[in-house]
Structure 1
């Protein structure tokens, strides 16, 4: 009865205040507009033309808003009236009441364990009448309580171990707000901890099916791709340190300050990122250590979402609301009054925060000044509360009060016994045995790692004496390289583009050619080099009267390529007039004039220059001195395509100390392209050959990488074969862009980091471990100077290094514990004789002492070496790569300007707003929904086409991506370090693209392909080794299929001329357009 009265009073309170204030007018009016649109156009049309209509919420709450809109229309409720506000706010207010009911039911349940109705009602009252709660739903007009009802259900089911139910509710929550992703961290940990593939599969399918069914009315006729784009767009919104949230960023002056602005010379974006990563590691560590304790998932979810509010950028003032109900739920299970004090403290600061923002909004003031005293004071209070919450989490789940009391009472011998218990536990965790009971310390993985190396781990296949690279390897690799080199160099590009040029200094200059007699002019092809300008053709029969002007504009998209015009004019004389000459002066190399029915240029009888400026470079006659190099129908063999117009041009400019046009990427990639131009000339073969050879060089890297990982030549051949005949490896290394260089060095840096992880300064000399580590850093530096995508992989290298040093530390700690046991007397630890059944031999003791001595100096030298090889040397290489830029004559090319260039590059990629018909977001790449179309030839015979596209081999990418997804589960099951390394490499190159707001293309996935192939090979190896011999034939058939697809798609990867009808056969998906 009392509870019913309480609920009624709480609802009446909300019904009373809801119509008085419109609330936060921006949010309320937006919800009302969505409600009107949802009912007017229907659910299926709600997200249509989303680019012209602001709608950043997922479809879940649109069902509620549809009903709100329907009530407005059916009952003729005026928009923004008192009745309108009641209808709009009612769902969230009812969610408040439902949450209170949930709190009481949980508290009185067996799991909650509260036997007192008074205590349960007290918790409900704390929630229901908390102004930080009811002001959100009844005054502000937001739906956070509605969202948190589903999150609470998720965590409660997770607390009870019902992970499939939790997956259902978190999917529903995700359809309400993308913030639900944050609460999925602990669900992922719990699913992985189960080590049951069926649990993993059921949870994934439950979540996906739930989202698919609920989103179905919105997806009919448009698929589900828009939904991923909607989430990505929402996450990329609001580029500010804080959005009126009283948190760490606001305390540092970051409220509504651009993420790129700095505090103490550190961008707010990096401050938020570092703090969030540290907080996430801390909270996840506590959960991994204390997940088995009551209420762990609830309290740590409260702590994590509070950490998100406190540390992340782009936080709104309301987001602390999410933690309040979780604090009460965790108190029910943990019964620690300190949690209630946290709830009260955060409720107070949160209410002050939202009240301040609301009151300002009533006066159309939506931005709190960055140094507002109230904001700074409350932000500081929130920081204090957050630090206390972090400390309390450690005490509750890692080091409880009881643990501390036991430590104070422990004696020295008890400490020794505890050390031996740890050894036993290490053995239990490290052994593959499933039977309970103590395990001999000599059977643990840590013992084997110290004395034998990590058997069965990443070093698999490297044991034994003799050559690891045999004659068979040379045969396999040599054959593959030779075959691929022939295929890659075939029709790579022409060798004979024009060399001489005329660079007119001013507009108005002209050149007149006399053909000797009148001809029907059917085509004029001109080859423009670097620079920009415009020129025109004029026609005459007598050389006096000129008519029929044809204007040609040569801008940055027409560099180093042939421009064809078809005048179809009768003329004897043709005049070429320079109409405009930009500051980046145009270089005209050659002009070819074709008569009717001819495929070779007409003979030029006489060339006359008009209005020539002495400042010109070259001579006007140079335009007609290389007719043999003029193609009738230009193709990719004769000129640039796609981004070659930038990179090949800049490579030539570096050679000639000219201001580089392309400055949005580091210069080393273009310098490497310039080597080919220097050796073979300014022609397609010259600017493509170096990248193609780097593509050939990737094959030995892949082969060696796989041989080291999997130990057998056959597996190395499989990996190298799959990579060799992947479509993107072929297409992307034959185009003169810089991606090939970045990916090449990414492969090398991860290979040498892998080599480092297979060595230990306990078992090898220190310098032997530092060599591969240093080479990894060296290639990281070279790669970063080629393209910034390599820096993404640097995060993966750091993770692998940290894991390796952590393993050294675990071995060190294990050795110390064993030595402590040896120093104790037999009678001090009689209960553990079964575990420590044998004394250490003198050799074993000496090795353990060696481990104990080596850890600290080995770690220090390793870290100092990393500073040199991953920081100082890469910075030096990066700076030296700008030498061609600094050699350009004139001011603005000094070391200071190099630093300015980096700011320019960053802003370019951050602020790039562009569209492209063949761009694709990151989530489409593995499925190859939209290949990138690089080139289509003109002047093809009827019914024929020549195109170049880039995407993956379906038999490599599709099963490879499935293997990657499966590995996210398997890496927790078999704990294979090879799989872990490959996933870290893949993830470090892929995950950053989720946060990149600029236009992206499928070729950005190229950096992930080597690791996808190696992961796929990992499972092919398992497939062969765990089954009958006939599986070998199946694998051979699969490899044959990969090769067959390569040759089937070869024409559209290489620009080969084929019947247009053939391309229809290759169009497997709607987005696969080839002409």
Structure 2
């Protein structure tokens, strides 16, 4: 029995990764033309490989007949370089004239994100069932599938954010281990800790995330706030008075920022090395130090992003992202055949069971956090409070900044791909609680949802969860042709337009 469990511990995650890989790499080279914003990012990636920084192309042909039609003239890119360097890795391996070259790196990033999500699920819950469920939900999430099959930047960003979150959670565990071994002082455990290797690594990763898209800084800021609040609560729980706990927590927050932020800045600047060593890159002036030129370039980029108001048929207000009400169609062609008209399209239409289920699960976790905080013994049930708050922080860090600060109309549903790992984790955690799996960490365990403990009731909930997961897999199979550009009859395509905004 122990041998079976040992093998299952490795086999189950590998099977989930295999599902993720098949869904993302199947027919990856189709279509053989650039789709949506691949027109910009793939071209930038190829010319950046040749020159160290993007250059202008001689045409705007999405069919991409000549993959070497770039010029020597510097091109104005409105996003940092790292995502395009990553696209370029696939181009180096498979060549610039095939969809495998353009998309293989982001597909691999998608599979890696599923693996990281499973690892984070395990560390949050110590449950193989919850970890593999989170990975399977992400592997079959329509938004994540599509955004890791097209050569855009957001699939890479989701990977970096998930990895940064994993490292942040390792920092939480690292501190818990040290606190457990430390002797409490007269006012509780109040030591300010400077040696934080996992936090340093997280800062580097989030800096790299910003080197893909600036929005990669939002999660870093959110998790730093999470760490500060958690530190304050732990000091109070250790017996420190509010005044002393607040002061020491403020000092610890400063130390945390000193560790993480310079690392993030260093990692971010490193992503610009190609531009820095390219004397004829956009905005470079031989008479001006590169740092001044880079600062001016960033001011131009910020101005562009803050004033982008061009209308777009697929723009979607951030308030609609959690429910996937307006997917961004990436590609669509029609021709006669299939007993009528044939359609081949790529659209990140959500699997409603996964997307809406994830939104509902996040509300459950929010309720658990509130319940833990308002009850007198809240701090003794650390796993419920800490795990739920951590997942909520990850999700809200990719959504609330857009919701609260958006000042332009040109924002899109596919930006929400960074939310999908946390939505999958939330849904897996809640489904695990329904199945009677306690919310646990490496050091403690506590029940989450207080449900009927009767064995018959528990068996019924487990059966319902199994039916839900089978239905989610079936829905993903049903929508797979619309995610992967497979040719289908028009009636089949129309039958999948379940909501008015999906057309």
Same fold (TM over 0.5): yes
User: CA 1:693/1:746 → structure 2, altered by over 3 Å: closer, same or farther?
Assistant: same
| Aligned match of 2:22 | 486
Which of 856, 867, 884 matches 2:274?
Answer: 884
SS in 2 for 1:640: coil
2:42 and 2:87 in contact (8 A); partners too? yes
Q: Distance in 2 between matches of 1:1005 and 1:659?
A: 27
Q: Distance in 1 between matches of 2:90 and 2:296?
A: 29
Q: Distance in 2 between matches of 1:692 and 1:768?
A: 37
Cα deviations across residues 53-72 of structure 1 (Å, max 9, x unaligned)?
xxxxxxxxxxxxxxxxxxxx
1:963 aligns with 2:361: yes
- 1:679 Cα shift? 1.8
| Aligned match of 1:697 | 112
- 1:949 Cα shift? 0.3
Q: Distance in 2 between matches of 1:865 and 1:1023?
A: 36
Cα deviations across residues 124-179 of structure 1 (Å, max 9, x unaligned)?
xxxxxxxxxxxxxxxxxxxxxxxxxxxxxxxxxxxxxxxxxxxxxxxxxxxxxxxx
| Aligned match of 1:873 | 263
| Aligned match of 1:1017 | 428
Q: Distance in 1 between matches of 2:17 and 2:34?
A: 27
Q: Distance in 2 between matches of 1:936 and 1:804?
A: 48
- 1:890 Cα shift? 3.1
SS in 2 for 1:670: helix
| Aligned match of 2:349 | 951
Q: Distance in 2 between matches of 1:928 and 1:741?
A: 20
Cα deviations across residues 768-799 of structure 1 (Å, max 9, x unaligned)?
97122122212111111111121111221121
User: CA 1:863/1:816 → structure 2, altered by over 3 Å: closer, same or farther?
Assistant: closer
- 1:879 Cα shift? 1.5
Cα deviations across residues 108-135 of structure 1 (Å, max 9, x unaligned)?
xxxxxxxxxxxxxxxxxxxxxxxxxxxx
- 1:1030 Cα shift? 3.4
User: CA 1:790/1:659 → structure 2, altered by over 3 Å: closer, same or farther?
Assistant: closer
Cα deviations across residues 300-354 of structure 1 (Å, max 9, x unaligned)?
xxxxxxxxxxxxxxxxxxxxxxxxxxxxxxxxxxxxxxxxxxxxxxxxxxxxxxx
| Aligned match of 1:979 | 388
Cα deviations across residues 383-423 of structure 1 (Å, max 9, x unaligned)?
xxxxxxxxxxxxxxxxxxxxxxxxxxxxxxxxxxxxxxxxx
Q: Distance in 1 between matches of 2:495 and 2:225?
A: 45
Q: Distance in 2 between matches of 1:878 and 1:795?
A: 15
Alignment of structure 1 residues 767-782 onto 2, 5 Å: 770-782=196-208
User: CA 1:816/1:490 → structure 2, altered by over 3 Å: closer, same or farther?
Assistant: closer
Q: Distance in 2 between matches of 1:773 and 1:492?
A: 36
- 1:988 Cα shift? 1.9
| Aligned match of 1:1040 | 470
User: CA 1:769/1:471 → structure 2, altered by over 3 Å: closer, same or farther?
Assistant: farther
SS in 2 for 1:950: coil
- 1:732 Cα shift? 0.5
- 1:708 Cα shift? 1.2
| Aligned match of 1:806 | 232
Alignment of structure 1 residues 400-411 onto 2, 5 Å: none
1:777 and 1:866 in contact (8 A); partners too? no
Bigger-Rg structure (1/2)? 1
- 1:935 Cα shift? 0.2
User: CA 1:767/1:969 → structure 2, altered by over 3 Å: closer, same or farther?
Assistant: closer
SS in 2 for 1:931: coil
1:649 aligns with 2:43: yes
Q: Distance in 1 between matches of 2:225 and 2:193?
A: 21
More divergent stretch after superposition (477-486 vs 965-974): 965-974
SS in 1 for 2:109: helix
Which of 488, 492, 496 matches 1:1066?
Answer: 496
User: CA 1:1046/1:993 → structure 2, altered by over 3 Å: closer, same or farther?
Assistant: same
| Aligned match of 1:743 | 158
Q: Distance in 2 between matches of 1:776 and 1:871?
A: 10
- 1:1032 Cα shift? 2.0
User: CA 1:947/1:662 → structure 2, altered by over 3 Å: closer, same or farther?
Assistant: farther
| Aligned match of 2:81 | 667
SS in 1 for 2:500: coil
1:474 aligns with 2:10: yes
- 1:970 Cα shift? 3.1
In the alignment, structure 1 segments of 5+ residues that lack a partner are 1-465, 494-635, 818-850
Q: CA RMSD in A?
A: 2.8
Alignment of structure 1 residues 30-429 onto 2, 5 Å: none
SS in 1 for 2:330: strand
1:784 aligns with 2:193: no
- 1:1000 Cα shift? 1.0
2:87 and 2:106 in contact (8 A); partners too? yes
Q: Distance in 1 between matches of 2:129 and 2:195?
A: 28
- 1:1029 Cα shift? 2.0
- Flag the structure with more relative contact order, 1 or 2, with Cα contacts below 8 A and sequence separation at least 6: 2
2:219 and 2:398 in contact (8 A); partners too? yes
1:1007 aligns with 2:418: yes
- 1:927 Cα shift? 2.4
Which of 160, 176, 180 matches 1:763?
Answer: 180
Matched residue count: 428
Cα deviations across residues 914-965 of structure 1 (Å, max 9, x unaligned)?
1111111111222222211110125564511100001321001112212223
SS in 1 for 2:90: helix
Q: Distance in 2 between matches of 1:816 and 1:902?
A: 42
Q: Distance in 1 between matches of 2:95 and 2:204?
A: 30
1:988 aligns with 2:397: yes
| Aligned match of 1:898 | 294
- 1:472 Cα shift? 2.2
- 1:888 Cα shift? 3.1
Cα deviations across residues 454-491 of structure 1 (Å, max 9, x unaligned)?
xxxxxxxxxxxx9xx95322111111112321232111
Q: Distance in 2 between matches of 1:773 and 1:934?
A: 37
Cα deviations across residues 62-111 of structure 1 (Å, max 9, x unaligned)?
xxxxxxxxxxxxxxxxxxxxxxxxxxxxxxxxxxxxxxxxxxxxxxxxxx
SS in 1 for 2:27: coil
2:171 and 2:196 in contact (8 A); partners too? yes
Q: Distance in 2 between matches of 1:905 and 1:1012?
A: 31
Cα deviations across residues 1049-1071 of structure 1 (Å, max 9, x unaligned)?
01110000011111121111122
1:1030 aligns with 2:484: no
SS in 2 for 1:734: coil
1:997 aligns with 2:423: no
Q: Distance in 1 between matches of 2:256 and 2:241?
A: 25
Q: Distance in 2 between matches of 1:693 and 1:739?
A: 13
| Aligned match of 1:726 | 141
SS in 2 for 1:700: helix
| Aligned match of 2:132 | 717
- 1:662 Cα shift? 5.2
User: CA 1:486/1:1013 → structure 2, altered by over 3 Å: closer, same or farther?
Assistant: closer
